[in-house]
Structures are given as C-alpha cells and as structure tokens.
A and B are shown apart, each in its own frame.
Chain A
C-alpha cells in the first residue's frame, strides 16, 4: 500500500499548513538542535519499574516540531509501515494544537502511544528524514513527537474515538490480541464490521503485555488503547484458543465470515547445549512472562520467579536487553549480556543498549555459551563460554562468528535467560491442516494481500514474518484489513 502523492500534496497546501511553514525560515529551522529526551537517572530507575523515558514537555515538543521542514516530498512517510502523515501531525504540534496532532496519528495508527515508545524510529521514519538523508544532520525526533501527541491526548481526558462506519453486520474473528490483531481489529471496526478478538491468554495485548517490560511500555498505556478499541465496538474474548476451544468450522457456523491470524512467534528457541535444562535456565519468554504478565516479582502474587544475583542473558536483541534490564531491577548484582558477535552487529535498538550500559549491564561480546554446570540440586551455577571471532559475512549479511579454539572459560551464574530468538507458535497452524505453512512453521501468505491458502483467512505479524517488530506487525494488520475488506466486498458483489 502506498499513500497517494496527490493526497499528501492536497493536505500540504491547506491554508493552516502554509501559514505554519511561513513562521520560520528553513535556515532557522535547520539551525535548531535536536531535542534530548529526559530520562530517569539510572541509579534511581533500577530500583523500580518506572518508565525510563520521561517524554517531552509541550515547549520541547513545539521546538522540535519547528525543525521539521514540511518537505514537499516527505520521504519520512515511506519509512513508516502504517504510513502516518508525519509532517501533518508535526505541524499540528508546531501550531500548538496537540489534540489535532493526535487525531492525525489515529487516521492510520491504532496504537500511537505504543509506537512512540517501542518503534525503532532510527531505522524507519527517522532514517528517511531529510535531515538524515541530505543534511547529514540528526533527524527530526519523530518518535518522541509521536509519543508526545499520543500522551497529551490521553492525559487531556479528551481521547477521540475514530469515526466508525454504520454497522454492516458482518462478523470477523481476529486470532491473537497483539499489535497485528489490534491494528486489524481497529481498521475493520472503522469499516463497520462486527469484530471479535480471541486471545489465548487471560490478558489482552499479546507481546505488549507479556513481553515488553513496564519500564519501556507501561501496561496502563496499552490498556487505554484497548479501551479505545472497545469504544469503537470491538469485542474481546480472552482464554480462547481458536482451533482448540472452538474450531474455525465452529466459528463459521456461528456466523464469522472472515479470519485474521496474528498469533505471534510464540515458541522460544534454545541452543541445545549440555545442561540447558538445569533449574535457573529459562527462556526470555518465560522470564518476561513471569515478571510482566504474572507480576511475579510482586510478593502478593502467586507466580514465583527465580532471579538471581549473577544473571547471564544470552543474545543481543531487544528481548535480551529487556531481560537483562529486568534482572537488574530484580536485584542482580552482576547482570550481563553474552553475545556471539560484536557490539556493531547487535540487533537491539541503540537506545536500549545505551540504557542498559547506563544501568551497569556488562556486555560480553564475541562470546558464546557452550555448556552449563549445576549443583547437586540441578541448579545452574556456571556457564562455560568460548571466545569468538568474526569471519566472512553469512546469509544475513553479518560477519559469521567463528569459535576460537581453546578459549573456553567459566563464569559463575545463578540465573540464565536464553534469548536467542523465537519460532512461530505452532498451535494455530497445527489445528488447521489445510493451512499452508513454510518449513519454519510460518504461515504462507500472498505478499500484498496477506491472504492465506484458506481464502477467508488472512495473517500477519510474527506468525508470517517469524520474528519482527511491533510496527511491522501493525503494518500487516493494516494491510490485511484493507485487503479483507476488498475481498469481502468483491465476494458480496460477485
């Protein structure tokens, strides 16, 4: 899907936009320095779950918005998987009309407060900013501004509910309530469909709830976005596994005409090295689910969590950073990342790595675990690691790590979190034998329409991609909604 140039041009020529552009000369705009995000100090934040980034003040936001040149060809939009009209919302901020700015976000994004926090903007919209591309200057802080507008609207108590088309009575089932499913549900509700979201867990929100920690994305913010969907008429059923609790056939009999699967990349990978099943070694999914979804660190909840004083997290992605920083907050004296490549190849966001470093996380790069050892009770007490060196680039384009012979040594640990990736959740595909899947277990879809081998079923997010980001899942939800709407209309008119 690509947003039309004519539409963008028309929007840009609106009188208010022209007026805002005249407020400052471009030279004055480019001379302004990029805003710095306020943060809770590392010493303070590791003692609690407080959100690290404080957000921008109104003055800071307006000042940052002034930097945006409102380019005739807004390349930033091409970097956004849900194609937010970026200059339009930024110019609303410059104007001081923050509520209208938030409404612009909501034209295309179901979860702006979430995206403003967890999107890798530096690889998306901000990477395509004119400042970055042509001026070799720091890009406009689009992510910070997005968060500002969404937060302002929420805190104002004047949250706008997107306009919903008259009900068309067509029932749509959404499987999974993560970012893909929520986005799809919102877009279909806007078109007048009767949407029900089915969630296997007891909480709505998927990875936004069980995966991403409170200090990066407070649950209360996710709940507000879910509440907004409810106000648009979207229904939610928790504790419901489509394919198990009821089959697709059952749901068809109950009148559901379309299905969207966004069931996520549920299955944690392990490394299959000796001792990996000792007590105290757990997947990042388990660790984060215990702490985030089950609130296990709270003594008033029944779910326990083992989180020791010497914690090693294996891996270098965002989930690894979330895990190691959680361990620090749960009292780890030594919390370390063990990663087989170098800092340069680390897939985690730069901001997460920086925050982790400030919090005293150790980074053992070019290091790979080869075995674990345990005490007589089976509790892990040592990890044996091996030094690595980088060889020729592999299929992913990154230099392949090669073990250095004879470089093994042991590190004392009492908790190990394995965060080396996830595989698609097999639960949905396994209950639908007619659904075409790849040999990795992802669902096969038509690239543009996101339609599966079952014509009335569309799919998106990690169950299709294997393991990606919140915003790419949202983009899929959005594209699938548009494609399903067209499919159902064509079917009706046929």
Chain B
C-alpha cells in the first residue's frame, strides 16, 4: 500500500514522489489534496495532488523540505511505503471557460497549480502562467506547465533565471498588456496575499488555493479555519480554494506560525537523530 514508485529531486530541498494509490488516482480532480502520515508517531499533513495517472494507479506529490514531517516523507525512497495516505479531500477546482486566465505559482506551489492549468487549458481558456521563485534552482515543472500554457513567464527574486522581480511585477505586466478574465494563485501565504492585492487593483476575479495546518483533514478539528469575507471557513471541507479577495491573509499568516517554535525544535531533533 502507498508504495513509492518514483523519486526525483527538483532541487536539494524539493522532491517529487510518485506513489501507488489506485483509488485516489481514479477519484481525484484538479484541486484535491491528500493527508499523509509517515511512521506510527508521524504527524498528519495535507499535500495537494500535483498529478495522477489513473492507468498506472499513481499520484504525484511535490514536497518541499521545511520541517520534520516533510523531511520524513522526502527521506523515503523508491520501494518504501507511506504509513498512511487518505483522500482525495477538499472541493475540486471549479473549471469553466472564462477567456484568459492568469495562473501564478510561487515556489513549490507550482505543483498543485499544474493540474489546474491543465484543466483550464483543456476547457478552452487562454492560459498565461507565471512561475516565481527566489532563484533558478527553485523553479520547478516548467516544461510540464508549458505544455498546457499559451505563455510561460518566469520571475526570480535574484534574476538568476527569467525576469528579475516579484510575481506581482510579472502579473502587472500581463494585466497592463491585455485583458485577464480570471486569476489563480498558489504559493506561500505571503505571496498569495500580495498577488491577491494586485489582482484586486485590476478587478480580476481571483482564486487562491490555501494550505493551512490540518490534523484530520475531514472537517473534524477546525485547525485549518480561516476568515473569508468575515466568516469562518474550514480549508479542508469548504476549500482549499477560495475567493482570494475575501481571504484574511494576515490572520492566516499568524495561524500558520502558531506552532513555529515547537516545529523548529522537532525539526532540529529529527536532524540530530539522523546524524547519530
């Protein structure tokens, strides 16, 4: 069960895993996520599905090493099994033909963006995709994105690849140039906050896919709750996608940091245990 059949390093800290999960591969739609737990004492964490192959019976996850749980998963190798894997969870992305769509992925957020870009393109939209990261080695899945995009724009903070600048610089350039009917943004919360502010200036309806802290992922605990348009919503069952202009990103940023100190300690402990 849940055996890893392929492992690929996009960079030192970004890993792609292809995992046997025939039922999830068949049932999932763009926008869905899974909950993964590694080891009996592991933590349950949500990861958005980057791709699935129903024929092979596999799903693809792209994981960035940021803490103990993401390290545990990315330390697994081909042939290893994930202790627990459940899904697909969340509401699937609402896909329709709207005209021109601006898709923006920040860092590892490009992975969950890929199936959405694919579905938008197949629905007949013109898709312009912006890939943004700190530097060249953190730009991932460019070829796969290009396959389903009419245009791909790469932005790096340090100018090591593509155009030097922030994701919002690239977005403004596109929106100044042509009419955009809808935007989709996935990435770090801080990037989504500013991307949403940017599209608001241009009055472009925008969807953000959020990745908050979760425990069960099935609506049971409320750890993932955020405020959208003044109302509390659960990312796991009401989302993970929301109207980005209604999301209280400041609150979300605070909540994401709720366990920061404990997480740092746990990460260090794991790294120490590996050295021993």
Interface residues of A (CB under 8 A from B): 200-202, 210, 238-241, 244-247, 266-268, 270, 272, 276-280, 282-283, 285-286, 289-290, 294-295, 298, 300-304, 306, 377-379, 425-427, 430
In the complex, the answer to whether B257 meets A377 with C-beta atoms within 8 Å is yes
Nearest chain B CB to A307's CB is how many angstroms away? 11
Name the B residues within 8 Å of A285 (CB-CB).
Answer: 220-222
Q: Give bound CA distance, A302 to B125, whole Å.
A: 43
A245 and B41 in contact, given A238-B84, A267-B220, A276-B232 (Cβ under 8 angstroms): no
With the chains together, A289 CA to B222 CA distance in Å?
11
B255 lies within 8 A of chain A by Cβ: yes
Q: In the bound complex, do residue B216 and residue A201 qualify as a contact, i.e. CB atoms below 8 Å apart?
A: yes
CB pair B41–A286 under 8 Å, yes or no, is no
Q: Is the CB of A266 within 8 A of B219?
A: yes
> How far is B251's CA from A470's CA once the two chains are assembled, in angstroms?
37
CB of A289 within 8 A of CB of B43, answer no
Closest A residue, CB atoms, query B88: A244
Bound CA–CA A379/B257 (angstroms): 10
Alpha-carbon distance between A241 and B68 when the two chains are bound, in angstroms: 27
Residues of B within 8 A of A266 (CB): 218-220
* A268-B222, A270-B232 known; A302 vs B266 contact (CB < 8 Å): yes
- Judge whether B263 and A426 touch: CB under 8 Å: no
Q: Which 4 A-B residue pairings sit nearest by Cβ, starting from the closest?
A: A378-B254, A286-B221, A302-B43, A279-B258
- Which residues of A lie under 8 Å from residue B254 when comparing CB positions? 278-279, 377-378
Q: Which one of B24, B39, B221 lies within 8 Å of A283 (CB-CB)? A: B221
Interface residues of B in 231-276 (CB under 8 A from A): 232, 234, 237, 251, 254-255, 257-259, 262-263, 266
Q: Is the CB of A304 within 8 A of B221?
A: no
Inter-subunit contact B219/A306 (CB<8 Å): no
A210 contacts across to B, CB distance below 8 A: 216, 220
Q: For residue B73, give the distance in angstroms from its CB to the closest CB of chain A.
A: 11
A selection of 7 A-B contacts at a CB cut-off of 8 Å is A246-B23, A270-B222, A277-B227, A298-B41, A301-B43, A302-B42, A304-B263
Judging by beta carbons under 8 Å apart, are B69 and A302 in contact? Answer: yes
CB-based A-B contact count at 8 angstroms: 123
B27 touching A245, Cβ below 8 Å? yes
**Using an 8 Å CB-CB cutoff, how does the interface string of B199-219 with A read, 1 for contact, 0 for none?**
000000000000000011011
User: In this assembly, does B155 line the interface, its C-beta being within 8 Å of a C-beta of chain A?
Assistant: no
- Contact A245 to B259, CB < 8 A, known contacts A378-B254, A425-B218: no
Q: Is B86 located at the chain interface by the 8 A CB criterion?
A: yes
* List of A residues within 8 angstroms of B121 by Cβ: none
The residue that B44 contacts in the complex, of A245, A294, A430, with Cβ under 8 A, is A294
Smallest CB-CB separation from B86: which chain A residue? A239
Does residue B87 face the partner (Cβ distance < 8 Å to A)?
yes
In the complex the two chains form, is A283's CB within 8 Å of B86's CB? no
Within 8 Å by CB of B84, from A239, A247, A268, A427, lies: A239
What CA separation (Å) do A457 and B249 show in the bound complex? 42
Smallest distance from the beta carbon of A245 to chain B beta carbons, Å?
5
Closest residue of A by beta carbon distance from B40: A301
Q: Specify the chain A residue showing the minimal Cβ separation from B234.
A: A267
- Provide the bound-state CA to CA distance between A306 and B260, in Å: 11
Interface of A is mostly: loop
> Of all chain A residues, which has the CB nearest B258?
A279
Residue of A268, A277, A279, A377 touching B226 (CB-CB under 8 A): A277
Task: Select which of A238, A290, A295 is within 8 A of B41 by beta carbon.
Answer: A295
**Residue B126 is within 8 A (CB to CB) of chain A in the complex:** no
- Cβ contact within 8 Å between B218 and A200: yes
Alpha-carbon distance between A166 and B36 when the two chains are bound, in angstroms: 39
Q: Which chain B residue shows the least CB distance to A287?
A: B221
Q: Which residues between 1 and 42 of chain B lie within 8 Å of chain A, taking CB atoms?
A: 23-24, 27, 37, 39, 41-42
* B68 and A302 contacting across the interface, CB-CB below 8 Å: yes
Inter-subunit contact B43/A303 (CB<8 Å): yes
* Interface residue B225 (Cβ < 8 Å from any Cβ of A): yes
Given the complex of chains A and B, what is the CA–CA distance between A210 and B216 in angstroms? 10
Q: A241-B86, A425-B218 given as contacts; is B43 within 8 A of A279 (CB)?
A: no
B47 close to A (CB within 8 Å): no
Q: Are A378 and B251 in contact (CB under 8 A)?
A: yes
Interface string of B157-197 (1 = CB under 8 A from A): 00000000000000000000000000000000000000000
Q: Which of B24, B39, B219 contacts A426 (CB 8 A)?
A: B219
Q: Does B220 lie within 8 Å of A244, measured CB to CB?
A: no
- Verify A277–B221 contact, CB threshold 8 A: no
- Shortest Cβ distance from B230 into chain A, in angstroms? 10
Which residues of chain A come closer than 8 Å to B262, judged between CB atoms? 304, 306
* Contact between chains at A425 and B27 (CB < 8 Å): no
Residue of B nearest to A422 (CB): B220
Shortest beta-carbon distance from B225 to chain A in Å: 6
Q: How far is the CA of A285 from the CA of B37 in the complex (A)?
A: 19
Q: Are B266 and A304 in contact (CB under 8 A)?
A: yes
Of listed A200, A246, A290, A377, residue having the most chain B CB within 10 A: A200
List, in ascending order, chain A residues with CB within 8 A of B68's CB. 302
**How many angstroms between the C-alpha atoms of A278 and B41 in the bound complex?**
27
Cβ-defined contact, A245 with B251, below 8 A: no
In angstroms, Cα B138 to Cα A388, docked, is 57
User: Distance (Å) between the CB of A300 and the closest chain B CB?
Assistant: 6
Additional A-B contact list (14), CB under 8 Å, known A302-B41, A302-B72? A201-B86, A201-B218, A244-B89, A267-B237, A270-B232, A272-B232, A277-B255, A283-B221, A301-B42, A302-B42, A304-B259, A378-B251, A425-B220, A427-B218
Contact B220 A289 (CB under 8 A): yes
Query: Is B146 interfacial (CB 8 A cutoff)?
Result: no
Measured in the bound complex, the distance between the Cα atoms of B86 and A200 in whole Å is 7
Minimum CB–CB distance for B221 against chain A, Å: 4
Report A-chain residues with C-beta under 8 Å of the C-beta of B86: 200-202, 239-241, 245
Q: Give the interface centre of A210, A238, A278, A279 by most chain B CB atoms within 10 Å.
A: A279
Q: Tell me the nearest residue of chain A to B215, going by C-beta.
A: A289
Q: Is B153 an interface residue (CB 8 A)?
A: no
Per the bound structure, the CA–CA distance linking A91 and B219 in Å amounts to 46
Q: Tell me, rounded to whole Å, the shortest Cβ–Cβ distance linking B38 to chain A.
A: 9
CA distance A279 to B223 in the complex (A): 10
* Contact across chains for B27 and A294 when beta carbons are under 8 A apart: no
In the complex, the answer to whether A245 meets B255 with C-beta atoms within 8 Å is no
Choose among A202, A282, A300 the residue that contacts B222 (Cβ–Cβ < 8 A): A282
Given contact pairs A238-B84, A295-B41, A302-B68, A268 touches B255 in the complex (Cβ within 8 A):
no
A116–B72 Cα distance when bound, in Å, is: 41
* Residues on A with beta carbons closer than 8 Å to the beta carbon of B227: 277
Specify which chain A residues have a CB less than 8 angstroms from the CB of B226 in the assembled complex.
277
Q: Write out the residue numbers on chain A whose beta carbons fall within 8 Å of the beta carbon of B216.
A: 200-201, 210, 289
Assess whether B221 is in contact with A268, with CB atoms less than 8 Å apart: yes
Inter-chain CA distance A238–B85, complex, in Å, is 10
Q: How far is the CB of B104 from chain A (nearest CB, A)?
A: 26
* Contact present for B223 and A301 (CB under 8 Å): no
Determine if A267 and B87 form an interchain contact, defined as CB atoms under 8 angstroms apart: no
Rounded to whole angstroms, the CA-CA distance of A433 and B44 in the bound complex is 29
Which single residue of chain A is at the shortest CB-CB distance from B224? A286
- Residue of B37, B220, B221, B258 contacting most chain A CB atoms (<10 Å): B220
